[in-house]
Structure 1
């Protein structure tokens, strides 16, 4: 297929480009950087330098590419995490999830694209009640901390816009990323003991390696049915379980432990809730309907062998849907 990949140089975009080329697709890939555009061309794609918030530029680029499908992987996260002011930190990504999504959907309608795959998220935005792993049918959090209201609204806008559009709209709700290009800041924080366990560390997190996240986008592109899919590994885990393990893997001292009241003062309500009340996600639907096989089925193996600075040790496996 002819693919228009918006956001090709991020943590997921880079392995996704490699996998699309390996599958024989003709890829037009976007970036905002001239230097990154040249690196993309060397991988064998047609590189386009555009801002996803520029509707006219997006429309022209999509029209020139004449794609069969569009993949939306645009994000704008940069700098140190700011959990106290999360909406402000995530503002560039929120704009890409709202205005950027609208621009791509408008371009898709204009040229008659029928398949649209978009990146979303599952984690802190899950409802904080009931069992540890939420399905795609479970509601999202109805009362997020104030610092997350704009970010949650942006996620909801993307998901609603893509699934309601008159095309084959597929939304991939990725868990927390790790792997080359996604783990470096996390590792730095853990090694510096800047990521404490708050309270009992009872919040449940779901993880996904960036190579598996990219593989899920390829599978969804090639054979996915419209709808929402949680793209996470097989083992949702409490913070009290995965964070000490990660510290051990990267040669750090055990994480500090802080009571909830002190955590609110130091890092804010958002991270306190995430570390104490969060719910993970189930990948049952993605495995059942996409037949996705994970190269890193558990964060334990992934943290130890696929965390940073390594090329994938195994190519994702693709099987026909039964």
Structure 2
């Protein structure tokens, strides 16, 4: 199939484009910067230069590439700041609202058969059980400071599901780790854990779901090729509390155990958003994606992935010595 990947040079795009090419698809990679055309050719894609926030440029990009499938992976995330979460995601929120609308409009005009879009697991309502399925309430009560971000995620999901003229699939990814992510060899969260600047706030009872960026890309290829329209959690097999996964990560990285601070102090360090994410977040089940997309993560648990991350860091450190 002919596939247009919007956001083709981001962390996901770097993983996704080569896998789509390897699966025999003709891939067109949309990027805002002409300087990245050579990079996209190196990945095996036909570069398409367009600003996702310019509806005319998006319309031309889609009309020119004539895709059967559009994959929406548009993000532009600044340095992570839990105290000002919506500010850090401001540009991404525009891409998830305006950018989504532009892509859907252009895709409809071009007769696109399938539209696959990125979402995020952390919008589940923080009530009831610790692990949520796609049928559970989502995005109706966002954490303080995440109202705009969760609202933008809901916009993506609602707009794609309302597009009855195409087959719309939404992938609620877990927290990414791996190359070119915040929790990768050069990631700022990795460095914060190594420097003991990522504390457990309160009792750390918030449940997080992770997924290795390569596994997320594999699931996205599956969504391009098969699966009924709808929403899918793309996460690994082990949702875990912060109090469980953060010390394991620190140990794998050879760091001292994370500090533990009362929730009141944590609010001063990470804002109310950080405190809520540490203590109230709900994880997600991947049962539907396994069943209906025929997908299973290679990194079945973040435990394996964190050990792999630590090994990469040791190898890089040894090579630099």
Task: For residue 278 of structure 1, give the secondary structure of its aligned residue in structure 2.
Answer: coil
Find the aligned partners of 2:305 and 2:63 in 1 and give their Cα distance.
39
- Does structure 2 conserve the Cα–Cα contact (< 8 Å) formed by 1:181 and 1:308? no
CA pair 142-109 structure 1, distance change in 2 beyond 3 A: closer
Residue in structure 2 matching 1:242, options 238, 241, 245: 245
Shift of residue 51 of structure 1? Answer: 1.3
Change (3 A) 1:152 1:146: same
Q: Distance between the aligned counterparts of 1:306 and 1:48, measured in 2?
A: 33
Match of 1:205 among 203, 208, 219: 208
**Matched residue, 1:71:** 71
State the 1:169 CA deviation: 0.3
What is the alpha-carbon distance in structure 2 between the residues aligned to residue 274 and residue 308 of structure 1? 28
d(CA) in 1 for partners of 2:285 and 2:102? 31
Aligned-residue CA RMSD (Å):
1.3
Superposed structure 1 runs of 4+ greater than 3 Å apart: 306-310
Structure 1 residue matching 2:3: 3-state secondary structure: strand
- Against the structure 1 CA distance between its residues 20 and 282, is the aligned structure 2 distance closer, same or farther, given a 3 Å change threshold? same
User: Deviation at 1:300?
Assistant: 0.3
Q: How much does 1:143 deviate?
A: 2.9
Change (3 A) 1:287 1:14: same
Q: How does 1:52-201 map to 2 (within 5 A)?
A: 52-79=52-79, 81-123=80-122, 125-166=123-164, 167-182=166-181, 183=183, 184-201=187-204
Q: 1:77 to 1:308 in 2, by over 3 A?
A: farther
Counterpart position of 2:280:
277
User: Greater shift after overlay, 28-37 or 190-199?
Assistant: 28-37
Work out the CA distance in 1 between the residues paired with 2:36 and 2:260.
40
Residue 49 of structure 1: how far off its partner (Å): 2.0
In structure 2, the partner of 1:35 is 35
Contact 1:179 1:308 in 2 (8 A): no
TM-score, length of structure 1 as denominator length: 0.93
Q: Flag the structure with higher helix content.
A: 2
Q: Aligned pair count?
A: 308
**CA displacement at 1:265 relative to structure 2:** 1.4
1-structure distance, mates of 2:238, 2:53: 36
Which consecutive unaligned segments of at least 5 residues does structure 2 have? 314-321
Contact 1:180/1:307 (CA < 8 Å) preserved in 2? Answer: no
- How many angstroms does 1:37 deviate by? 2.1
Distance 1:133 1:307 in 2: 27
